[in-house]
Chain A
Amino acid sequence: MTTKAIKTGPFDLVKKIFIKVGVLPFFLVAALLIFAALSPKFLTGQNLVNVARQSVYLVLVSMGQMLVLISGGFDLSVGTAIALTSVVSALGMVWFSSIFPDALWIAIMLGAFMGFGAAIVVGLVNGVGVAYFEVSPFIMTLGVSSAGAGLALFLTGGVPVSNLPFAFGDTFGFGRLWGIPVPVIFALICIVFMWVFMTRTRLGTQVYAVGGNIKAAHLSAINTKRTLMWAYVICALIASLTGLLLTARVESGEANLGSSIALESIAACVIAGVSLRGGIGRVENVVLGAFFIVLVQNGMNLAQVSSYMQMVLLGALLILAVIFDQMRYRMILSGS
């Protein structure tokens, strides 16, 4: 094996950070510098708190996306899971609250469970297709994405479902607990849950193993199909939770919620060093990655970049991140 001379120049440090965590620290520093220069409001405490609150939804979805990416696939149907959850849970809440007008919380809960149920179906269909029928994740989730979006529109006729119980939006959309917005609390719980899941449980470890080398995992007594199933189901469930929180925020069930979130969540993961080849990725970095994306969007808004141009930049950012991911993977393999 190579015995390398130990050098520590500034360049080596950059390289070390790059190999260890990926491109995110560099992007973050660049974004902070650029937007701070463009808008004086950007680096104010008020604005950063805003960004933190806005980023909840993307943080959640990105953690689900991360799970699927680490398993070696990806999930284009997270947006659909959100839309279906929104529509189904809203319809459920409206229907149940007309049956139990006196027990609105029961109606809300039943509606929420219907939403989760719809998302579990999305996750199961994805999982069965990818794990058991070996459909490529791209096609499988793209197909499900279209089917689910169509279903959500069909259920509502394209009209938002309104008249949700007031308490729902008031609590989950705008409520605060100990001064912290409720969605943020959900996100924090979910972050802790995912961190424990990925680093401390057998199933989490198996997801890494399956994504790293599925054949080797199979020969190490791992139930690879079941592991893949779980990855897609958990991803859909997290998306579903996001869907509920978003529904509460907009106070209606809408079929067009989460339409751009698949791309954004993949971008957040890749920027955060989750490998598109699977097997590599960390929860804490993904949270930062999602935060970064929202930060960039916020900075562009403040700098009055048009929303059309923002789409262009987001796409470019994703591709750039993938290019850096390729370089990083090669560096990891070769050790140079």
Chain B
Amino acid sequence: MSTTLIETRALTKQYPGVLALDAVDFDLKAGEVHVLFGENGAGKSTLISMLAGANRPSQGSIVLEGQVVKFETVADAQKKGIYTVFQEFSLIPTLTVAQNIFLGWEPCRGPFIDHGSMRNESHKMLLELGFDIDPNAIVAQLSRAQQQMVEITKAFHGDLKVLILDEPTASLTDKEVDHLFDFVNHLKTKGVGVVYISHRIQEFARIADRVTVLRDGGKIGTVEMADKDDDALVEMMTGRAIEEIYPEIEKGSGEILLSVAHLRTAGIHDATFDVRAGEVLGVAGLVGSGKSRLFRTVMGLTTRVSGRVTFNGKDISKSPTREIIKSGVYYLSPDRKAEGLDLAKTSTENLAINLIMGDKAGGNSQVVRWAEVNAETVTISEHVELQESYRNKPVSQLSGGNQQKILFGKCFGQNADVIIFDEPTVGVDMGTRAALYLLIKTFAESGKAVVVISSDLPEVMNLSHRMIVLAHGHISAELAGDDMTEEQVLKHFFDETGAKP
């Protein structure tokens, strides 16, 4: 059990102007699961990218079974038995599962690809890993969780010594997570070492042997999982106590602003709920439960089949998205890169769009009053605490946290009465999170209504005054006050009662 498989000695990665990893010692023993824990930008990804051979260290060394190794490519690392499943998928969506698994080393008969044996081998590999996926299926038609399984299967070629999993459970349902953990435990018994990156602290107790905490590129410490509880780990990660992260939000008048009745669409069955002024409504549910889809339907982003949505007493269930936004309901996309921001433009330019559309500056005239718009973007940038030096850089150059601040800023330009935050802090570090939560607090306490949709359970639970829980596309519970416990919420995650076959 105690033989060291791989270790890093004072591993350092220097990018121009940034020290991404600062002399980190890390070791992985055979048959253990070693969790890397830290905020975004703490250096986890940098560390594993060097272990995986995707990146080369500036200083320090990697030692594999007592020998110093230098990986030039990912293939080098794989030859030594180190396999990595990156967070970003490397699958070709238009090919079949089998073609993807064997991509780049297709079995051949003579000069031609042997499709038969490719299918059979894939089938065997999938079965061995316990994944129930048809090798002939087209990857694009699989769920995200299934795609992840294919990604994992794809990583397994040859002799496995070290498996690196980068946020493997981010898009899995609990059942699938169980499956993955069984599989990881199975690997442990075979003496494989697993490096595991995750933000889901509740998983650690189930799977981790040791945890190494990183912060700002440096190592804070390595602890035995058995010795520490969750709060202690969060404190190690953030350098601050958990109460400092979530603010106490004062509850307001409770007048109904947005009302949804019997809303139905593909994947949503008969949803009825209200959103009230001065209140934070939390929306929880597993990936695939429809929590995001429900609000995208409210916003008219997916077609509504039936049901009524009223805002301030006005029926908006037939209105197009832009009319809904203009009337005062704003939706923040969970995917700031694809749907939120124009990456090649500056923060000021991104904010200006909403000011112009939101009639906040320039009124209804066709002519844009740039002086007014620019002054307003400054006000908003200050409000969301975006540093001055970042305001005129293309958004793509900013960190996830700063990008998210700009996304928040966009909604203040729209003069909204209801803001729906869909995964408001995805990929954002703890420090920025705290700042974003304060923005939500200010907004809610000014008498507006806030909806927070989140897969991060502590986040929804700590921010919300009231919660709705979704399971299989229906609202399985509405909780408030003392009923809002983790136990209650989790119970309703798996509620099958309203589910349609």
Contact = CB atoms under 8 A, between A and B. Distances in A.
A280 B349 CA distance: 12
Contact of B357 (A200, A221, A329): A221
A218 interface: yes
A5 B16 CA distance: 9
A203 B350 CA distance: 15
B366 A202 contact: yes
Nearest to A211: B342
Interface in A317-334: 329, 332-334
A202 B370 CA distance: 10
Contacts of A199: 370
B17 interface: yes
A212 B344 contact: yes
Given A201-B366, A202-B366, A219 B331 contact: yes
B1 interface: no
B353 interface: yes
A212 B399 contact: no
Which bucket holds chain A's interface residue count?
35 or more
Given A3-B17, A202-B368, A209-B353, A221 B325 contact: yes
Contact of B344 (A2, A202, A218, A333): A333
A203 B394 CA distance: 22
Contacts of A212: 342-345
Contacts of B393: 335
A333 B394 contact: yes
Given A200-B367, A333-B396, A2 B17 contact: yes
A217 interface: yes
B138 to A, nearest CB: 22
Given A218-B321, A220-B414, A335-B394, A200 B345 contact: no
Contact of B343 (A200, A221, A333, A336): A333
Interface stretch (B64-72, B99-107, B171-179, B332-340): B332-340
A157 B333 CA distance: 55
A153 interface: no
A195 B194 CA distance: 59
B390 interface: yes
A143 to B, nearest CB: 25
A201 B367 contact: yes
Contacts of A218: 321-322
A335 B397 contact: yes
A20 interface: no
Residues of B in contact with A, size category:
35 or more
A222 interface: yes
A215 interface: yes
Contacts of B357: 202, 206, 220-222
* Among A199, A216, A217, A279, residue most surrounded by chain B Cβ atoms (within 10 Å): A216
B352 interface: yes
A1 interface: yes
B366 A215 contact: no
B340 A219 contact: yes
Contacts of A50: none
Contacts of B367: 200-202
Contacts of B326: 221
Interface in B398-427: 398-399, 402, 410, 414
A205 B414 contact: no
Interface string B380-396: 00000000001001101
A256 to B, nearest CB: 38
A1 B339 contact: no
A334 B393 CA distance: 10
B285 interface: no
B64 to A, nearest CB: 32
B51 to A, nearest CB: 24
Contact of B16 (A4, A201, A221, A277): A4
Nearest to B373: A205
Given A205-B368, A219-B325, A333-B396, A279 B345 contact: yes
A116 B397 CA distance: 44
A213 interface: yes
Contacts of A4: 16-17
Interface string B348-369: 0110111011100010011110
Interface in B13-39: 15-18
Contact of A329 (B325, B344, B368): B344
A280 B17 contact: no
Nearest to A218: B321
A223 interface: yes
Nearest to B393: A335
B442 to A, nearest CB: 22
Nearest to B395: A333
B341 interface: yes
Given A219-B321, A221-B358, A332-B394, A1 B342 contact: no
B319 to A, nearest CB: 11
Contacts of A220: 325, 353-354, 357, 410, 414
Contacts of A203: 366
A200 B18 CA distance: 39
Contact of A1 (B331, B349, B398): B398
Contacts of B342: 209, 212-213, 216-217, 279
Contact of B353 (A3, A222, A275, A334): A222
B397 A201 contact: no
Given A2-B18, A222-B357, A335-B393, A201 B368 contact: yes
A117 to B, nearest CB: 24
A280 B325 contact: no
A334 B333 CA distance: 23
Interface of A: 1-5, 199-203, 205-206, 208-209, 212-213, 215-223, 275, 277, 279-280, 329, 332-336
Sorted nearest first, the 10 A-B pairs with minimum C-beta distance are: A212-B342, A2-B17, A221-B325, A335-B397, A215-B339, A221-B322, A333-B396, A213-B342, A221-B357, A209-B353
Given A4-B17, A202-B365, A215-B339, 4 more contacts: A199-B370, A202-B368, A213-B338, A334-B396
26 contacts: A2-B16, A2-B397, A199-B370, A200-B370, A205-B368, A212-B343, A213-B342, A215-B339, A217-B342, A218-B322, A219-B331, A219-B339, A220-B353, A220-B354, A220-B414, A221-B322, A221-B357, A221-B414, A223-B322, A332-B394, A332-B396, A333-B344, A334-B397, A335-B393, A335-B396, A335-B397
Interface of B: 15-18, 321-322, 325-326, 331, 333, 338-345, 349-350, 352-354, 356-358, 362, 365-368, 370, 390, 393-394, 396-399, 402, 410, 414
